[in-house]
């Protein structure tokens, strides 16, 4: 019996030491700033970490369709509300949830806007758990940082300083038109129903927004390659069931004046800068009309946004 307890004790001690080492290793390798040179991943989306506490009114979440179609700074310039895009390439929904969770620790957005393309991206049942482990122990996410650890990684604290003047938006002025323009909403694409796993994550996102008092809006950005009526119906049904407004801009391409010969950078997959400006204009008007969003342009606390706006306009000019 004592041998048995001895073994159990040793196993317990082994794992205690193991988790202590993992925790300590995580502290060492986690990026000490949200800049590329500090090893931070998804820098554009993680720029939100250095935004002032409770300064973001609208939080956009989703895959590359988001950062290709919405410019928070353009909306700020016109309407004065602040927004940020936590969008990353091929973002799976469990990662959307993780970004939301992390953002809500420092921000209290009035509105969370979810792009619906992520609802149809499949993932493994273990992926959300792996993401959680990576959150708890950044050692598993940033293990490759052993290659360029600096002195401050061993002793320094985490301090985020990156000011992303584009607020998550990515400028791309390329034009690669859709070859044969037809009625893309009637095309059948792979994965046209929301899978059980995605629905499960989606439910938890809805719940989280309710608990934190954030309103939720689901939207679909115009995408010739990715969207169709079946997907629209699946999202509409989910939103109706959960009493969430759904804005499908694919049904509004005419009023938006989206020209698939001019407004896409990759044959209808993503919009380019011109397309993004059309969507942004529509979105800013829609949000101002339907939500009570404050104008911060004269607010001294938002001076950094006004400074960023100058830099933003300069960046847009430079990239013409």
Distance CA 246, CA 249 (A): 10
171 near another protein, judged by CB under 8 A = no
Shortest spacing between CB 9 and another protein, in angstroms: 12
Q: Residues 43, 130, 244, 277: which binds another protein (CB under 8 A)?
A: 130
> Which among 103, 102, 66 is positioned nearest to 87, based on CA atoms?
66
139 near another protein, judged by CB under 8 A = yes
149 near another protein, judged by CB under 8 A = no
Q: Tell me the three-class secondary structure of 230-257, residue by residue.
A: HHHHHHHHHHHHHCCCEEEHHHHHHHHC
Burial class (CB in 10 A: 0-12, 13-18, 19+), 231: buried
User: Hey, is 67 helix, strand or coil?
Assistant: helix
Q: Residues 16, 21, 181, 310: which binds another protein (CB under 8 A)?
A: 21
Distance CA 47, CA 172 (A): 19
DSSP structure string for 180-213: S---GGGS--S--S--HHHHHHHHHHHHHHHHHT
Distance CA 180, CA 30 (A): 47
For residue 136, give the DSSP letter: H
Q: Which is nearer to another protein, 25 or 191 (CB)?
A: 25
User: Hey, is 83 helix, strand or coil?
Assistant: strand
* Interior angle at CA 132, CA 126 and CA 134, nearest 5: 105
Q: Residues 18, 203, 210, 311: which binds another protein (CB under 8 A)?
A: 18
Q: Which is nearer to another protein, 3 or 186 (CB)?
A: 3
Give the contact letters, 68-107, x = binds to another protein (CB under 8 A), - = no: ----------------------------------------
The answer to whether residues 66 and 170 touch, using CB atoms and an 8 Å cutoff, is: no
Shortest spacing between CB 86 and another protein, in angstroms: 16
210 near another protein, judged by CB under 8 A = no
Shortest spacing between CB 238 and another protein, in angstroms: 27
Q: Residues 12, 16, 41, 319: which binds another protein (CB under 8 A)?
A: 41
Q: Which is nearer to another protein, 12 or 146 (CB)?
A: 146
158 near another protein, judged by CB under 8 A = no
Q: Which is nearer to another protein, 126 or 155 (CB)?
A: 126
2 near another protein, judged by CB under 8 A = no
Shortest spacing between CB 147 and another protein, in angstroms: 4
147 near another protein, judged by CB under 8 A = yes
Q: Which is nearer to another protein, 147 or 190 (CB)?
A: 147
The answer to whether residues 258 and 223 touch, using CB atoms and an 8 Å cutoff, is: no
Q: Which is nearer to another protein, 24 or 285 (CB)?
A: 24
* Interior angle at CA 33, CA 32 and CA 39, nearest 5: 80
22 near another protein, judged by CB under 8 A = yes
User: Would you tell me which residues interact with another protein (CB under 8 A)?
Assistant: 7, 10, 14, 17-18, 21-22, 25, 41, 124-126, 129-130, 134, 139-141, 143-144, 146-147
């Amino acid at each position: 019996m004592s041998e048995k307890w001895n073994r159990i004790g040793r196993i317990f001690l082994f794992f205690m030491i193991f988790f202590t080492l993992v925790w300590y290793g995580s502290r060492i390798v986690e990026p000490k700033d949200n800049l590329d040179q500090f090893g931070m991943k998804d820098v554009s989306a993680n720029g939100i970490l250095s935004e002032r506490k409770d300064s973001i009114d609208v939080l956009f979440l989703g895959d590359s369709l988001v950062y290709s179609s919405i410019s928070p700074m353009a909306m700020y310039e016109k309407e004065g509300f602040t927004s940020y895009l936590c969008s990353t390439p091929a973002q799976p929904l469990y990662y959307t949830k993780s970004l939301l969770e992390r953002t809500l620790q420092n921000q209290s957005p009035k509105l969370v806007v979810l792009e619906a393309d992520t609802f149809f991206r499949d993932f493994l049942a273990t992926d959300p758990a792996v993401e959680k482990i990576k959150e708890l122990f950044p050692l598993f996410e940033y293990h490759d940082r052993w290659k360029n650890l600096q002195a401050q990684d061993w002793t320094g604290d985490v301090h985020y300083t990156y000011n992303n003047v584009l607020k998550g938006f990515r400028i791309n002025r390329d034009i690669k038109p859709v070859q044969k323009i037809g009625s893309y909403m009637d095309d059948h694409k792979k994965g046209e129903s929301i899978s059980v796993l995605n629905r499960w994550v989606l439910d938890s996102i809805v719940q989280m927004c309710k608990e934190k008092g954030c309103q939720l809006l689901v939207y679909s950005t115009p995408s010739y390659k990715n969207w169709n009526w079946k997907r629209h119906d699946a999202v509409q049904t989910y939103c109706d069931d959960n009493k969430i407004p759904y804005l499908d801009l694919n049904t509004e391409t005419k009023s938006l004046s989206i020209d698939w010969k001019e407004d896409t950078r990759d044959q209808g997959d993503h919009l380019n800068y011109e397309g993004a400006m059309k969507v942004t204009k529509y979105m800013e008007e829609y949000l101002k009309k339907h939500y009570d969003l404050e104008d911060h342009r004269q607010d001294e606390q938002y001076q950094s946004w006004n400074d960023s706006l100058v830099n933003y306009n300069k960046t847009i000019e430079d990239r013409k």
